[in-house]
């Protein structure tokens, strides 16, 4: 296995901040989800638009555990790193951490199922997608 890590930079904008220019904690979840969505599109080649609109599948959240280490401020550029901690037939545990100039700001573990939007039940990952996800394990 390659043990890849996907990285994407996100600038902290006013929309992420409280009036004092510090990231409002719930906004980190939007940034985490953006990083995961970018990874699926760019790293896995299975963007959410294809997954949801064309294939009628999705990755519902099943459990989220987040940790916050140090505040981020307006104008900071956070490097989000995405990797797979565990991969099963019908779910995935994704670890995302954000750093600013090598200083860890926050991290989260996101357990997502893989589901059919038609039956609203979990289903197996397509084999080709499963193999691509394994590269980040």
| pLDDT per residue as tens digits for the range 28-38 | 999 999 999 99
Question: What's the number of CA atoms in the CB half-sphere (13 Å) around residue 41?
Answer: 12
Is it the case that residue 1 has pLDDT exceeding 70? no
What is the pLDDT averaged over residues 83-106?
98
- pLDDT at position 2: 60
- Phi first, then psi, for residue 40 (nearest 5°) are -60, -40
> 99 falls in which pLDDT band (50, 70, 90)?
very high
Residue 20: inside a domain, yes or no? yes
Asked whether 70 and 42 are in contact (CB, 8 A), the reply is: no
| Rounded-to-integer distance, Cα 132 and Cα 44, Å | 6
Residue 58: inside a domain, yes or no? yes
Residue 36: inside a domain, yes or no? yes
Mean pLDDT of the chain: 96
What is the pLDDT averaged over residues 51-72?
97
- Phi first, then psi, for residue 20 (nearest 5°) are -85, 0
Using a 10 angstrom Cβ sphere, with 0-12 exposed, 13-18 middle and 19 or more buried, the burial of residue 48 is: middle
| Rounded-to-integer distance, Cα 30 and Cα 135, Å | 25
In the chain, % of residues over pLDDT 90: 98
- pLDDT at position 3: 85
Residue 89: inside a domain, yes or no? yes
Is it the case that residue 12 has pLDDT exceeding 60? yes
Residue 80: inside a domain, yes or no? yes
- pLDDT at position 94: 98
Residue 94: inside a domain, yes or no? yes
Residue 1: inside a domain, yes or no? no
What is the pLDDT averaged over residues 55-63?
97
Domain, as residue range, for 108 = 6-135
For the chain, how many structural domains are there in total? 1
Of 125, 131, 127, the residue nearest 90 (C-alpha):
125
Tell me, what CATH number does 48's domain have?
A: 3.10.129.10
Is it the case that residue 104 has pLDDT exceeding 90? yes
Is it the case that residue 64 has pLDDT exceeding 80? yes
């Amino acid at each position: 296995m390659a043990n890849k890590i996907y990285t994407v930079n996100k600038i902290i904008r006013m929309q992420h901040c409280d009036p004092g220019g510090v990231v409002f904690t719930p906004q980190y979840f939007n940034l985490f989800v953006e990083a995961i969505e970018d990874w699926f599109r760019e790293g896995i080649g299975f963007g959410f638009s294809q997954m949801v609109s064309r294939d009628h599948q999705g990755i519902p959240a099943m459990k989220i555990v987040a940790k916050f280490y140090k505040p981020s401020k307006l104008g900071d550029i956070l490097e989000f790193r995405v990797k797979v901690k565990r991969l099963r037939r019908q779910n995935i545990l994704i670890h995302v951490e954000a750093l600013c100039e090598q200083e860890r700001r926050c991290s989260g573990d996101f357990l997502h199922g893989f589901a059919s939007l038609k039956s609203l039940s979990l289903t197996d990952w397509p084999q080709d997608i499963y193999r691509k996800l394994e590269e980040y394990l």
